[in-house]
């Protein structure tokens, strides 16, 4: 977002931990729940019956497993404190657990004098089995003995069944990353990546090294990524790439094809929203992993619409009618907010509005469900910015001006959502990643009063939700000795467990079906189920911003020329004619 400045984030454990190379088994969905249950039962028994004798082995194991599930560091002293017995006795019992091969020690400093304790694969494997049995015994004893076919689907491959697909917390890598200077990431300064910043300490424990994250506004992020590509060696191990930039970054050699660096099947490609995964490809090759899939939707005040007996708008004409109805500037209330700031912000608004009217900005071939944006590498496209549908889109934006706040011409990503959150605007176009501004703030009038829709469409359009977001990519000039660890970090940060953790800490972007189906995730916001439904209905589309190498230039041209149109300096036809001519010249220039 344009208002944010770059900042650097540095901290973390000073030494890489050591671990056996044997992969740890995956945590069962029941493990954390059963561990918490057993801890509570142990406390009740120990405090409710007198005399009683603590079970130091069990107390320490439960404390270790609970900390592992929640990403907390456990020291030997903390383990002994959790034992419930005197210190000397606790140390002996801890030694017995270690001798049994249930606990691993990992150095936290170069000297090795300070260590952390972690569950060994043997303990995780054993407790996964115990957790499953305890879960079944509890169901049998306290109701829920009839496990329906739907309820048992989780164990037989029905991993996307709502209410059953509980994703366990992320676990520490079996082999900590060994990156000199720590893991270095270049990102966008938006709410989702800032959630990653908030969780940085926890992820440092997961990957076993420092994480240095640098965040920029959208235009400065692109500039820095291109500048980094000109260096002999990349300063970053991973970079966040806005989906429309993908073709440009591939053609300019900024990012590396994923199949050259890793086994792509490790990512479980079928779990990603189809549009988000396809948008991370160029010429049929994946170049990044979706870290955010954030469609732009129409936010609307469902309480206002219900109070006045209005249906949510499904068409652009209905948007105008609703905006006119709610627009009461004398009372400080306005019909609609949207991106109208000069440059990148307005350029995005226009090409997405063109899509609402059924018009891609270049002559993409029409296919079932929209337009083909999967085969762009051949080039040779012609701009379609002076068509009748593009004109209808431009005239729609001019009409929106009548029912917009007075500062609309300076509104961009965040500025359009802020007045909506404050109860000053009836509707706003906005990415789901901006929903935390009102979903997580109970003092906002829009809190719990917001409905979400795909873009209302024009006469020759259909409902669509233009896909935005970022893919995490590996720089083409990353030093080869850093590549294997960069791949492990990429897999870890885009895993279902990591994505769920982002959501639990405030993110409203989910690139994976499995995360959107997680019952704990769905309880946090209606967005996740709605976006999944839009994906199944094929409303999530990335063709509105086709990732050709020139798309950033097209967006900039549209955003500057149309700003004069909104100010009344030129007519829509004049603005579009100038845009068409400039984009034709741009498409004839070689990509360098």
Local mean pLDDT, 10-residue blocks, the chain (592 residues)? 41 36 50 77 70 86 83 83 86 92 83 82 80 67 48 36 68 90 92 83 92 90 96 96 96 97 94 93 96 94 96 97 98 97 96 97 91 92 96 98 97 92 97 93 95 96 94 97 96 95 91 92 92 90 95 96 97 98 95 80
* Class of residue 99 by CB neighbours under 10 A (exposed 0-12, middle 13-18, buried 19+): exposed
For 231-244, give the DSSP string. Answer: SSS-S-SEEEEEGG
Distance separating alpha carbons of residues 103 and 433, to the nearest angstrom: 40
DSSP SS3 for 301: strand
**Pick from 414, 488, 11: nearest CA to 213:** 11
Question: In angstroms, how far is the first alpha carbon of the chain from the final one?
Answer: 26
Q: Which domains does the chain have, with CATH numbers?
A: 7-13+176-293+469-517 (3.40.190.10), 31-144 (1.10.10.10), 295-466+542-588 (3.40.190.10)
DSSP SS3 for 289: strand
Tokens linked to 547: 């990732």
* Class of residue 285 by CB neighbours under 10 A (exposed 0-12, middle 13-18, buried 19+): middle
Distance separating alpha carbons of residues 291 and 417, to the nearest angstrom: 22
Residue 51, preceding bond cis, omega within 30 degrees? Answer: yes
* Class of residue 120 by CB neighbours under 10 A (exposed 0-12, middle 13-18, buried 19+): buried
State residue 369's pLDDT score.
Answer: 78
Q: Are strands 183-188 and 115-119 parallel, antiparallel or unpaired?
A: unpaired
Tell me if 173 sits within 8 A of 208, measured CB to CB.
yes
**DSSP bridge partners of 8:** 214
- HEC secondary structure over 436-478: HHHHCCCCCCCCCCEEEECECECCCCCCEEEEECEEEECECCC
State residue 206's pLDDT score.
Answer: 92
Tell if the pTM clears 0.75, that is, is over it: no
State residue 52's pLDDT score.
Answer: 75
């Amino acid at each position: 977002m344009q208002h944010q400045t770059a900042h650097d984030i540095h901290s973390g454990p000073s030494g890489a931990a050591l671990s056996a190379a044997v992969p740890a088994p995956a945590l069962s969905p029941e493990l954390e729940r059963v561990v918490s249950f057993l801890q509570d039962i142990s406390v009740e028994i120990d405090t409710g019956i007198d005399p009683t004798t603590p079970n130091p082995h069990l107390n320490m194991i439960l404390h270790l497993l609970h900390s592992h599930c929640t990403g907390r560091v456990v020291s030997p002293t903390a383990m002994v404190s959790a034992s419930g017995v005197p210190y000397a006795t606790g140390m002996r019992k801890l030694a017995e657990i270690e001798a049994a091969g249930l606990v691993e020690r990992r150095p936290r400093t170069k000297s090795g004098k300070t260590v952390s304790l972690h569950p060994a694969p043997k303990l995780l494997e054993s407790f996964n089995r115990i957790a499953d049995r305890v879960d079944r015994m509890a169901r049998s004893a306290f109701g829920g003995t009839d496990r329906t076919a739907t309820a048992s689907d989780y164990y037989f491959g029905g991993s996307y069944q709502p209410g059953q697909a509980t994703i366990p917390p992320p676990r520490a890598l079996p082999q900590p990353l060994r990156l000199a200077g720590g893991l270095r990431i270049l990102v966008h300064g938006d709410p989702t990546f800032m959630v990653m910043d908030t969780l940085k300490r926890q992820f440092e424990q997961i990957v076993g090294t420092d994480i240095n994250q640098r965040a920029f506004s959208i235009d400065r992020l692109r500039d820095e990524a291109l500048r980094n590509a000109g260096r002999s060696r990349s300063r970053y191990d991973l970079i966040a790439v806005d989906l429309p930039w993908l073709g440009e970054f591939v053609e300019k050699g900024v990012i590396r094809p994923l199949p050259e660096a890793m086994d792509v099947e490790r990512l479980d490609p079928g779990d990603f929203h189809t549009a988000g995964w396809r948008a991370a490809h160029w010429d049929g090759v994946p170049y990044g992993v979706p870290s955010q899939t954030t469609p732009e939707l129409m936010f609307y005040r469902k309480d206002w619409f219900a109070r006045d007996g209005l249906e949510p708008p499904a068409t652009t004409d209905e948007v105008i009618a609703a905006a006119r109805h709610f627009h009461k500037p004398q009372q400080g209330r306005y019909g609609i907010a949207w991106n109208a700031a000069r440059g990148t912000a307005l350029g995005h608004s226009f090409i997405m509005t063109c899509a609402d009217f059924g018009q891609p900005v270049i002559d993409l071939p029409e296919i079932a469900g929209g337009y083909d944006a999967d085969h762009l590498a051949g080039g040779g496209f012609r701009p379609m910015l002076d068509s009748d549908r593009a004109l209808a889109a431009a005239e729609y934006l001019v009409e929106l001006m009548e029912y917009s706040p007075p500062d609309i011409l300076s509104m961009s990503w965040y500025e359009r959502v802020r007045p909506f959150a404050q109860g000053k605007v009836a509707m706003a176009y906005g990415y789901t990643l901006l929903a935390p501004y009102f979903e997580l703030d109970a003092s906002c009038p829009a809190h719990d009063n917001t409905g979400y829709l795909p873009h209302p469409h024009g006469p020759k359009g259909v409902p669509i939700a233009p896909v935005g977001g970022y893919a995490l990519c590996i720089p083409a000039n990353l030093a080869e000795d850093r590549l294997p660890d960069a791949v492990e970090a990429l897999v870890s940060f885009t895993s279902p467990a990591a994505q769920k953790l982002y959501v639990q800490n405030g993110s409203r972007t989910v690139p994976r079906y499995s995360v959107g189906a997680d019952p704990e995730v769905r309880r946090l916001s209606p967005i996740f189920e709605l976006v999944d439904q839009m994906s199944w209905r094929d409303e999530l589309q990335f063709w509105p911003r086709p990732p050709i190498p020139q798309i950033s230039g097209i967006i900039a041209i549209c955003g500057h020329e149309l700003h004069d149109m909104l100010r009344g300096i030129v007519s829509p036809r004049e603005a579009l004619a100038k845009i068409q001519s400039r984009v034709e010249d741009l498409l004839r220039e070689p990509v360098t």
